Structure 1
Amino acid sequence: MDKLNQPKKLAQSKFIVWSLMITITLIWGYTWVLMKASLDYMGPFTFSSFRFGTGALTLLLIVWITRLGFPPKRYVKPLMAIGFLQTTVVFTLVMFALMFVEAGKSSVLLYSMPVWSSLFAVKWLGEPLTRWRTAGLVSGLLGLLTILGWDIWLGQSLAVIAGELLIILSAVSWAGANILYRLKVSDLPKIQSSAFQMLFGVIGIFLATLVMEGGQSIDFTAESIYYIMFSGVLASALCFTVWYVIMSTVDMVTATISTLLVPMFGLLFSHLLLNEALTASIMAGSTLILLGIALTQIKIEPKA
């Protein structure tokens, strides 16, 4: 009974929930810099195979130590579908697109995910899209567009536009995985659900690697190994497990709109580590994103 009440107790502590959200968005934001830098050492699919292979092995080791074991049979197909949508599709398409699209812009496009998740949640989870939540999503989306630049489709090569469209498709795929998780496997232990969706998902990435990059050279250095270990253990194993905790605790809009912090942090780390400029549009867009997150937290109590 206590286990069933844990998500409810966690939901009552906004400080803990938002601390978790800020932690994972900081890590994910920094990881975008590493994902782009990894392309100097190996192909995009190869990096994703190493990243999620490391993440899956880390989680499976914890599953083994805690004796959680293999999930019940009824969860296997949903976990395979979530792994395909959230791990295989998202990170094969994103890593491929990074060859044509800047890291900062890629992260902004992927984190259009909250919009798709919120729309899907209305239809399949029955979560109301209130006036304040809608205003928050609109503000967040305007913030993303401001960071990108309103002339996003002008003066760009077809390769860049194709890459941007692939990233948007990734965002829709991730949103679908979020809904499927809430509908089918949210009652599983978070470590277990994260471990097996990642295991199933990395199989698809590995197959894509064999087809697209089989035989290509890999440059293992202290730096490239650090990229793999950080993104595998922290950004994948830890963060996606915490992500499932958050999605089981709060409503879909609150959970997903927090991820709009990721491109903000990604651009900040790009500025600090890669000397990329923090332009006026980035600052204005970031302000709109923070405003959007604040608006979704407004709750009007019904009159007695």
Structure 2
Amino acid sequence: MSAVGQQSRSRFETPAIGYGLLLALGLCWGVNWPAMKLAVEVLPVWHFRAACLTFGALTTLFLARVYGARLRVPRKEILPLIICACFNMVGWQLLTAYGLTLMDAGRASIIAFTMPLWASLLSILLLNERLTATRVAGLALGLSGLAALLMPEMRAILAAPYGVLAILSAAMSWALGTVLTKRFSWSVSAATLSGWQLLTAALVVSVGALTWQSDAAWAESWSTGQLIGVIYAITIAIAFGHWAWFQIVRIFPAPVAAIGTMLVPLVGVFSGGLLLGEHIGPAELLALVLVISGLFCVLVLPGLRRERGLPKN
């Protein structure tokens, strides 16, 4: 098995399960972008993220225990876990939340999911992986789709440079965390690994909330949409989403896992239009075709080639 774990692959770590998780994760995290936008309108960033991470950690570790996973992390894996948590969780969670206070959810999701580009590049340096022709094609199509969404909004994005910087930094942080998760060896399950990273980040962010936002006030009145957004972001998106992501990272190479998540910004853009009234036009439709084509190259085409006895390329 890959460097993520030395355990034998279980029936829950097959490509078929991985494809299903990629689809579910795309929908779950895509809808989470407008949900987070609503949440940061009524909650201070550090408080919001502390709540997300704490609930996610407790839920994930509870489920891991229920399904028989070992919760104890060997001493030699603690430092790598903390390092990965800082990039996968702390950097991503805080920077995306701050970015959403400065720009629209759809635009933020577009910038955040330049992450596959950084993950693919970092995997070459840190994992000695090579980009096959199908992965290069998938990455090119996916990034072209993101560019199709990004270019028409360039003026609006440049008007909020700090938001762009925060979201782009979040993408790089998550990319590095993903590749490092693949680089280190783990003896624990995906759920245990996810839960302890969430809990580590929860402790860091909670200390930050007490230190830098101890006097910050919550909004006095919340709309129904804001309440639903807070509940969704703190519960479903964080608990299921991070467990699914670590399971996907176990199943697929880092570039494949990263490229697969390009579904998220599409769902983010369209759900932002539906739930928040953000603009959807020809650029969004073009991006949909390009990204789906990229996903086909990465997730479907290699399997078809194997069935026909052709090289994966």
Answer whether TM exceeds 0.5 for this pair: yes
Question: Which residue in the other structure is 2:161 paired with?
Answer: 161
Question: Which residue in the other structure is 1:18 paired with?
Answer: 19
Equivalent-residue separation in structure 2 for 1:87 and 1:225 (angstroms): 23
Question: Which residue in the other structure is 2:4 paired with?
Answer: none
Q: Does 1:108 align with 2:107?
A: no
Question: Which residue in the other structure is 2:91 paired with?
Answer: 89
Equivalent-residue separation in structure 1 for 2:25 and 2:257 (angstroms): 12
Contact 2:70 2:188 in 1 (8 A): no
- Secondary structure of 2:235 counterpart: helix
Contact 1:35 1:227 in 2 (8 A): yes
Q: Does 1:98 align with 2:80?
A: no
Q: Report the CA distance shift for 1:70/1:10 in structure 2 as closer, same or farther (over 3 A).
A: closer
The answer for unaligned runs of 5 or more in structure 2 is 2-6
Question: Which residue in the other structure is 1:207 paired with?
Answer: 207
- The alpha carbon displacement at 1:63 in A equals 4.2
Question: Which residue in the other structure is 1:39 paired with?
Answer: 40
Question: Which residue in the other structure is 1:6 paired with?
Answer: 10
Q: What whole-Å deviation, never above 9, does each CA across 1:57-96 have from its counterpart, x for those lacking one?
A: 2123334544723211111111111111111111111111
Equivalent-residue separation in structure 1 for 2:9 and 2:91 (angstroms): 33
Equivalent-residue separation in structure 2 for 1:122 and 1:234 (angstroms): 33
Question: Which residue in the other structure is 2:244 paired with?
Answer: 242
Q: Does 1:121 align with 2:137?
A: no
Q: Report the CA distance shift for 1:151/1:107 in structure 2 as closer, same or farther (over 3 A).
A: closer
Structure 2: which amino acid aligns with 1:34? A
Paired residue for 1:135, among 128, 134, 137? 137
- Secondary structure of 1:248 counterpart: helix
TM-score normalised by the chain length of structure 1: 0.89
Equivalent-residue separation in structure 1 for 2:269 and 2:240 (angstroms): 22
Contact 1:79 1:185 in 2 (8 A): no
Structure-to-structure mapping, 1:52-71, within 5 angstroms: 52-65=53-66, 66=68, 68-71=70-73
- Secondary structure of 1:5 counterpart: coil
- The alpha carbon displacement at 1:138 in A equals 1.4
TM-score normalised by the chain length of structure 2: 0.87
Structure 1: which amino acid aligns with 2:21? L
Q: What whole-Å deviation, never above 9, does each CA across 1:240-265 have from its counterpart, x for those lacking one?
A: 11111111111222211111110100
Instruction: Select between 20-29 and 183-192 the one with higher mean Cα deviation.
Output: 183-192
Q: What whole-Å deviation, never above 9, does each CA across 1:144-182 have from its counterpart, x for those lacking one?
A: 11111256267833xx11220221111111111111111
Equivalent-residue separation in structure 2 for 1:23 and 1:231 (angstroms): 15
Note the aligned Cα RMSD (angstroms).
2.5
- The alpha carbon displacement at 1:32 in A equals 0.7
Equivalent-residue separation in structure 2 for 1:155 and 1:60 (angstroms): 39
Instruction: Select between 221-230 and 276-285 the one with higher mean Cα deviation.
Output: 221-230
Q: Report the CA distance shift for 1:109/1:50 in structure 2 as closer, same or farther (over 3 A).
A: same
Contact 1:50 1:228 in 2 (8 A): no
Structure 2: which amino acid aligns with 1:5? R
Q: Report the CA distance shift for 1:94/1:154 in structure 2 as closer, same or farther (over 3 A).
A: closer
Question: Which residue in the other structure is 2:28 paired with?
Answer: 27
Q: What whole-Å deviation, never above 9, does each CA across 1:268-304 have from its counterpart, x for those lacking one?
A: 111222222321111111211111122224336349x
Equivalent-residue separation in structure 2 for 1:155 and 1:83 (angstroms): 29
Contact 1:114 1:253 in 2 (8 A): yes
